[in-house]
Structure 1
Amino acid sequence: MGNKHVDAGQGSAAGPEESAEPGSSLPGSRQARQLRFSTNGIAAANRLDLWEHHNARALIPLDIRTMDESPLEAREVSLGYGSLRFAGVTGSAQIVERNERFIRRNPTDAIAVFFTLQGEALFYHRDGHESVKPGQAIIADADLPFMRGFSRGLKEMVLTIPRDAYMELSGGQPLLKPRVLDFNHGAASNQQLRALARLVSDTLAGQGASGRPACPEGSALELLGHLIAGGHSGSGVGHLATARSYIEDNLCDPELGAPRIAAGIGISERHLSRIFAEAGEPPGSYIRERRLELARDLLSDPARHATPVGAIADQVGFASQGYFARAFKARFGSSPLALRRQALQGPAR
């Protein structure tokens, strides 16, 4: 295994950067506490110790080792919203561990959700082990012993919540064994987990779900409660986020409508209509708005300048080019062709 050693006087300025996240100041939202880390510019001998220090401060304390003598490569951005932590992590081959002795010294009282994006991860726990592939997530209590191995490196997202919050969401049922669920495997996907993965991704990208402002802390807890309940209970906020995630996945399908959305996320059409009404926008209007926004982006893309407007209308799910043109002008104040010409010409000088 790689050695961990810090040379005096080296790497002392290479710690994580902290800043307030630029973003929404909507009621109920919070400014994020942001921490960034990169091994770029850090002496190879210091990287493991500084990587451990960053994770202990920004996410979860870990005992980290490299697989060989190759210098560690790692990057992470983490956002703290209240008691929740959102993180995006990439790194070279490594092993991370929390054994019983380490946990006694470094308790977290947290539940962690690890979303694997690239690189298969082996997760060893006291009852066995799990192989977590890209498109899968593992949910585990960070204060129960585990070891994770990334033989080919990793790219993942992480969400942590206090155990007390999890216990409240679960009705007092502790998480005694890790759970592995799909969030990106088509029909096998858990829709609530898929919506949660989208929320984490959008939060790290600095935008609300589907490009709209959101309160990441509250929405994440709602979706986790929805996930723990198996999608059969929970508030309208959790159902709404799941429905919007389902719409994003199927936005360009012209057959997408309330019946299919309701069936896809396991609720009645009546309940679907009610939760969208509470949000101030019927499902059909929301779908049309998202399609028009996508069409605007495609029309503004120089790489698609030769694609006919009718083809773009079809690509984003409009069955009628005439209806698309009217809806587009009503929404953006100009025709699709006029917007394309303006976008390709650039700002007036």
Structure 2
Amino acid sequence: MDERFASWHDHLFRQVVAPMMITCDDPAGFRGSIESIDLSAVHVSAVEASPCGAYRTPRMIRQSDPELFQLAFNMRGETSITQDRRYALSQPSDMVLYHTSRPHQIRTGFSKDATYGVMVVFPAKLLPLPSRKVERLTATPLSGREGIGALISGFLTRLVNGADQYGVSDRSRLGLVLTDLLTALIAHHLDADTALQATTRQRVLLLQVHTFVQQHLTDPHLSPATIAAAHGISIRTLHRLFQTQGATVAEWIRAQRLECCRRDLSDPALGDRPIHAIATRWSFPVAAHFTRAFTAAYGVTPQEYRRQHQPDHILDWHA
């Protein structure tokens, strides 16, 4: 067995989640990497690997069973998972759930290309749903392209891309958000939304609203009314959701738009773009209003901020 593949096999067999046997048609050419993030009770890993297989047998389960669910989010390539007499072929943006307590087989990469994805591992008892019901979804493709699935796939993508930016307290809070999303995703596919606690439903709804706002920040007509209508709730309900945010809906929208302006002003690739064009893009059409709002938020004018962060691209404000 090639030394590199042997090291990968040993790591997965002894240290990751639960013992599995790993196979590879080309051990000498094998390449693999794992980057992990612990979010309290939830463990997330970004995994890239050459084509390989893995299986967990009844004997392995008798030797060690941590009773964990695993959600595999496929971002590149194809992955197949077999469990409970079901077979799922996972395409990019698909997610598949499986359980350590029963035998399963995994195959990644049906070509010579490496696969890349995110693995989420969490205790079965973490979900406020009966495990027997959740197990109905094992080895079943769950779309990450729409609805709750799109929320969780977007969350996982941003999480692994910015893993080095999170402190201990950040990771604990992110773990709670991910737990809520996992619960909502599974409840949705089980038609078990009524089993969710009100606080979980509210947190997931708030995250849906946040995502919607982020996607529509350039829309000058974005307002509490359009946001509420898009989510099938009343404006009053929307304002109640934001009571935990320390800002009104309008204030939160403005803060997100200002942050986008700040980011663009510090981007070297946008150094030749006039400040007023950046402000207008993010729905600040009036120069004086934008300057006052930006200065109040960051303590310096837009011109000064750009000068500090882009000394080679000093541009004047064009009203």
1:51 equivalent to 2:2? Answer no
Consecutive aligned runs of 4 or more in structure 1 exceeding 6 Å deviation: none
Q: Distance in 1 between matches of 2:171 and 2:53?
A: 37
Which residue of 140, 162, 169 corresponds with 2:123? 162
Aligned to 1:92: 50
C-alpha spacing 1:296/1:119, structure 2 compared with 1 (3 Å): same
C-alpha spacing 1:239/1:72, structure 2 compared with 1 (3 Å): same
1:257-303 alpha-carbon deviations (Å, 9 max, x no partner): 33443444554433221121122222221121112112111111111
**Do the aligned residues in 1 keep the contact of 2:37 with 2:45 (CA within 8 Å)?**
yes
1:250 equivalent to 2:210? Answer no
C-alpha spacing 1:159/1:50, structure 2 compared with 1 (3 Å): same
* 1:67-86 mapped onto 2 (5 Å cutoff): 67-86=25-44
**Do the aligned residues in 2 keep the contact of 1:170 with 1:225 (CA within 8 Å)?**
no
**Do the aligned residues in 1 keep the contact of 2:148 with 2:184 (CA within 8 Å)?**
no
Aligned amino acid, residue 289 of structure 1: A
User: So what's the TM-score if we normalise by structure 2?
Assistant: 0.80
Unmatched runs of 5 consecutive residues or more in structure 2: 313-319
1:150 equivalent to 2:150? Answer no
**Do the aligned residues in 1 keep the contact of 2:81 with 2:89 (CA within 8 Å)?**
yes
**Do the aligned residues in 1 keep the contact of 2:148 with 2:185 (CA within 8 Å)?**
no
**Do the aligned residues in 1 keep the contact of 2:5 with 2:28 (CA within 8 Å)?**
no
1:94-147 alpha-carbon deviations (Å, 9 max, x no partner): 112223333333323011111112112222233332222222222222323322
Q: Distance in 2 between matches of 1:217 and 1:329?
A: 34
Unmatched runs of 5 consecutive residues or more in structure 1: 6-42
- The offset of 1:311, in angstroms, is 1.9
Aligned to 1:337: 303
1:190 equivalent to 2:146? Answer no
1:103 equivalent to 2:61? Answer yes
C-alpha spacing 1:317/1:111, structure 2 compared with 1 (3 Å): farther
Measured on the aligned residues, the alpha-carbon RMSD in Å equals: 3.0
C-alpha spacing 1:203/1:299, structure 2 compared with 1 (3 Å): closer
Q: Distance in 1 between matches of 2:273 and 2:105?
A: 50
* 1:176-215 mapped onto 2 (5 Å cutoff): 176-178=136-138, 179-183=140-144, 185=145, 187=146, 190-194=149-153, 196-197=155-156, 200-201=159-160, 204-207=163-166, 215=173
Aligned amino acid, residue 183 of structure 2: G
Aligned amino acid, residue 50 of structure 1: D
**Do the aligned residues in 2 keep the contact of 1:62 with 1:96 (CA within 8 Å)?**
yes
Structure with the bigger percentage of helix: 2
Q: Distance in 1 between matches of 2:100 and 2:125?
A: 13
Aligned to 1:174: 134
**Do the aligned residues in 1 keep the contact of 2:77 with 2:116 (CA within 8 Å)?**
yes
Aligned to 2:282: 316
**Do the aligned residues in 1 keep the contact of 2:90 with 2:141 (CA within 8 Å)?**
yes
- The offset of 1:306, in angstroms, is 0.2
Q: Distance in 2 between matches of 1:175 and 1:117?
A: 23
